Amino acid sequence: MLRKCRVYTVDVVQSMLSLKKESANNYDAVLEIKDVAVEDAGKYKVIAKNELGESNASINLNFDSNDMSGSAKPTFTDKPVIRQTDDGKVIFECRFVADPKATVQWFHKGNLVKEDTRHKYVLNVDKHNHVAMLEVSKVAAEDGGEYKCTAKNTHGENSATLNLNIDGGKPKIPSARAPRFPKKPQIKQGDSDVLTIECICESNPAPEITWYHGDKIVKESSHFKMTKKETGKDTFTVCLLIDDPQLEDGGTYRCHASNENGESNANIALNFEGDEDEDPVPEFVTKPKIIPKDGGALIILETRVKSTTKLTTAWSKGTTAIKDSSRIKSSIVSEGSDEYTIRLEIKDTTKEDGGTYKCNIKNEYGDINGTWNLNLEQGIGEPPSFVEKPKINFEQSGKLVVMEVKVRSKTNISAVWSYEGNVVKESQR
């Protein structure tokens, strides 16, 4: 049976995490990604927690979108490369994003390279993505040394450098290279019952390929077929073919490529039509909040959640379940667009009403919990809140990307970053 599917790329990110206290109640949560590449693009999410509850913010690192937020000066998205064609021509290549379109100049040992019979400029542009190349033919000893690519637009400029070594009058191009996925994986599905996950991998020597479904190795069978084909110099097309895909074949797939020089991963999430685009478990739309009215005689504990199916709630104070009464009333109010306001009203409050309140919010797919700290003697506590929009900063000529959010909390917080639904763990990148 042929199934249609929705495809989501989920790239593994190596990163540095930090949480800095800026003042009494303000914190900076920072995610740094070194040697940023196009594969790192996607949706990132940070969750800030304290004992009173949690709040979250999302930020998009996007090299493809028509809406580039923040600085739009040229930013290099990949390491520059040097390659040689079969006819001996040497090609210097740099990839970057810019909006508006950038102009490019190449320099050799500090001197501007002008186009002539031996030197040719090439600039390929797709939306904000730029690929700049300098082609040098009839390479001689004097062509060795440092080359610099400078990209410039109305918002600023950036540069990337490469070094061409000459040995015996001939260019010495490093042949060995660790595997690298220059493009995101693709799903191909024609009229047959075979679904193909395709990855382009650059590697020298040829990579060893292992496919994973979740954390399990995919083994060759009548259901799964694997292919690897050299389609260019140091370039391979690797595919996982799934015959007659079923719902249980949905999930995250990972293509692991390795050789003696290193390893790399490309990931893609496969959701079949009929699955929800988003997690059907309830999701907080606003942070839990406490609303005092009538001079504090009425206290409202409130939050808003999103759910595609019917909700139920269970309130508790400490370890004691709360039941509706003439003084305490719980409610679920539909706000449209699958959003609901969850509320607990407490009338004629006294000091004894102070304490930690919890609401378990459940639908048929799962549940979430909201927490409120009601302190009627020292004021009303609340979970963390984000005080400004998330920011993306590019540093080190675009090799380092820094995502930063500012959080306000009266108590210490913890921060968890995630990328396309996967928790980001700290690493050397």
Q: Which position has the token pair 């930690």? A: 356
Domain end call among 374, 396, 414: 374
Q: Are residues 92 and 140 in the same domain?
A: yes
Q: Are residues 389 and 308 in the same domain?
A: no
Q: Are residues 318 and 365 in the same domain?
A: yes
Q: Are residues 174 and 86 in the same domain?
A: yes
Q: Could you give the CA distance from residue 263 to residue 331 in angstroms, rounded to a whole number?
A: 53
Q: Are residues 98 and 154 in the same domain?
A: yes
Q: Which position has the token pair 């400490």? A: 318
Domain end call among 163, 178, 193: 178
Q: Are residues 174 and 109 in the same domain?
A: yes
> How many angstroms separate the most distant Cα atoms in the chain?
93
Structure tokens at 9: 């790329």
**Residue 426 DSSP one-character state:** B
Tell me, yes or no, whether 79 lies in a domain. Answer: yes
Tell me, yes or no, whether 301 lies in a domain. Answer: yes
pLDDT of residue 5: 47
**Residue 35 DSSP one-character state:** S
Length in residues, the chain: 429
CB of 62 closer than 8 Å to CB of 11:
no
Query: Which residue range is the domain that position 195 belongs to?
Result: 181-270
pLDDT of residue 8: 38
Q: Are residues 324 and 353 in the same domain?
A: yes
Strand ranges of the sheet holding 320-321, from the earlier edge strand across to the other edge: 320-321, 312-317, 355-363, 366-374
Long-range contacts of 39-44 (CB under 8 A, 24+ apart): 39/11, 39/181, 39/184, 39/266, 40/11, 40/13, 40/401, 41/11, 42/9, 42/10, 42/11, 42/419, 42/420, 43/419, 43/420, 44/403, 44/417, 44/418, 44/419, 44/424
Q: Are residues 171 and 185 in the same domain?
A: no
Structure tokens at 161: 């450098």
CB of 365 closer than 8 Å to CB of 309:
yes
Q: Is the preceding peptide bond at 245 cis, omega within 30 degrees of 0?
A: no
Tell me, yes or no, whether 245 lies in a domain. Answer: yes
Structure tokens at 121: 């400029």
Q: Which position has the token pair 């595609």? A: 308
Q: Which residues in the chain show pLDDT less than 50?
A: 1-15, 64-67, 69-70, 275-277
Q: Are residues 135 and 38 in the same domain?
A: no
Letter for the amino acid at 93? E
Structure tokens at 135: 């082609």
Tell me which residue of 36, 15, 43, 18 sits closest to 158, measured CA to CA: 36
Tell me, yes or no, whether 228 lies in a domain. Answer: yes
Q: Are residues 156 and 200 in the same domain?
A: no
**Complete DSSP assignment for 360-389:** EEEETTEEEEEEEEE-TTT------EE-S-
Q: Are residues 77 and 168 in the same domain?
A: yes
Q: Are residues 89 and 160 in the same domain?
A: yes
Phi, psi of 58 (to 5 degrees): -120, 150
Domain end call among 158, 178, 198: 178
CB of 406 closer than 8 Å to CB of 22:
yes
Three-class DSSP labels, 383-407: CCEECCCCEEEEECCCCEEEEEEEE
CB of 212 closer than 8 Å to CB of 269:
no
| Number of domains, the chain | 5
Tell me, yes or no, whether 429 lies in a domain. Answer: no
Tell me, yes or no, whether 5 lies in a domain. Answer: no
Tell me, yes or no, whether 66 lies in a domain. Answer: no
pLDDT of residue 210: 96
Q: Provide the CATH number for the domain around residue 190.
A: 2.60.40.10
Reported as a single tens digit per residue, the pLDDT across 253-298 is: 999 999 988 888 888 888 775 544 455 788 999 889 988 888 778 9
Helices and strands (DSSP H and E) totals, the chain: 0, 38
pLDDT of residue 269: 85
Tell me, yes or no, whether 215 lies in a domain. Answer: yes
pLDDT of residue 1: 44
